[in-house]
Amino acid sequence: MDRERMVKEFCRLVSIDSPSFSEREMADYLIGVFAENQIMLEEDEAGSYFGGNSGNLYGYWKGTLEGDPILFSMHMDTVEPAKGKKAVVHEDGKITSDGTTVLGADDLAAIAEVIEAVRSITEQKSAHRDVEFLISIAEEQHLRGSQVFDFSSLKAKESYVLDKTGQIGSAAVVAPSLATFEAVVRGKAAHAGFAPEEGVNAVLIASKAVTRIPLGHVGTEMTVNIGSIQSDFATNIVPSACTVKGEVRSFSHEAVLRQLKDIQNIFEEEAAMLGGIVEYQEDLLFQAYVTPENAEVVRRYEDVCKSLGIEPVLERTFGGSDQNHLSANGVRGMVLASAMQQAHSSSEFTTVSDMEKVTKIVMGLMESEI
């Protein structure tokens, strides 16, 4: 592989603004880069579902080795602040932003690594298996891009998603379900000074409900959070509406569904006792998965890591990735550490040595005969 070329490619990718739902320039650039390597990327209509300007990208790279194809998945969007990014390469090999934006190693390091793997294999004329690529939009917005991808178009039944922080060699094989909920409490307005007894205080109903909901870690497998409580009325008015928003995560999908039902019941009970009503809705964003540690997709990864002198470490993560949607659609896989640290902050960084390691892992997986 060519380290300097890989770093140059990464810096180029960082310089392209690609916040969620505004990935057009990035998509066009990637279509061109992959085409230079004889891989045609097709674009779907995912952007139109959410008012974005780009769709997910999919490509197929025909190989010479026997065996089923494997899929590599990355995402092209970055979190804010994402405009005007610039990669600063330090003498010790650390790469940071200039401190005013995120770097975008999440997930642009992964894309640069995959591009370098393809270029290196092509130049060396190395034998490789059939490979599929999925580069999604809006992953940072609760996996919206892959949520609407047509998974029936995939041939691969195994996937490697490059989208994880942590030491190189670590990989997630278990991830949770995540659902959000919104409870709009309706009461009755009244003058707070002259006739408060004529009103039904929606904030009071909401607060009583919230105090009954277990928050934080609920057991060892679940977290529950209230992220927003909003009611905008003057202080002399008994508030007639209050909106509460939160989320539930668990490694057990069934536990998430039960918890959501319990939360709905709590709001409805408190509203009924004080004369209000509740409009309740929930949104299941993605579903939990478990990839068995003895699965071929895992054993292949472990073999490649060990051949490179990298210790494979299998983990559970409480975050979601496009692998959640892949698993839900019959594609078994894992999420690989992709050389990003302190993601989602202006302190985000990567290193040349870590990116080189990941590129070699990707090449090893593409060239694997098992």
DSSP state of 153: G
d(CA 158, CA 295): 10
3-state secondary structure (DSSP) of residue 75: strand
- Assess contact for 288 and 175: CB atoms under 8 A: yes
- Assess contact for 35 and 325: CB atoms under 8 A: no
- Assess contact for 353 and 93: CB atoms under 8 A: yes
Q: Dihedrals φ, ψ of 195, to 5°?
A: -150, 60
Q: How far apart are the first and last CA of the chain?
A: 22
Type of residue found at 52: G
- Assess contact for 141 and 244: CB atoms under 8 A: no
Q: Dihedrals φ, ψ of 131, to 5°?
A: -130, 135
Given 9, 23, 44, 77, which residue is catalytic?
77
**What burial class does residue 301 get, using C-beta atoms within 10 Å of its C-beta: 0-12 exposed, 13-18 middle, 19+ buried?**
buried
3-state secondary structure (DSSP) of residue 316: strand
3-state secondary structure (DSSP) of residue 233: coil
Q: Dihedrals φ, ψ of 142, to 5°?
A: 60, 40
Q: Is 263 left (phi over 0), alpha (psi -120 to 50) or beta?
A: alpha
d(CA 314, CA 312): 7
d(CA 133, CA 112): 13
Given 44, 130, 139, 158, which residue is catalytic?
139
Q: 139 catalytic, yes or no?
A: yes
Beta bridge partners of 228: 245
Cis peptide before 81 (omega within 30 of 0): yes
Type of residue found at 168: I
Q: 123 catalytic, yes or no?
A: no
Give the CB-side neighbour count of residue 86, counting CA atoms within 13 A. 6
Beta bridge partners of 230: 243
Question: Hey, which residues are catalytic here?
Answer: 77, 139
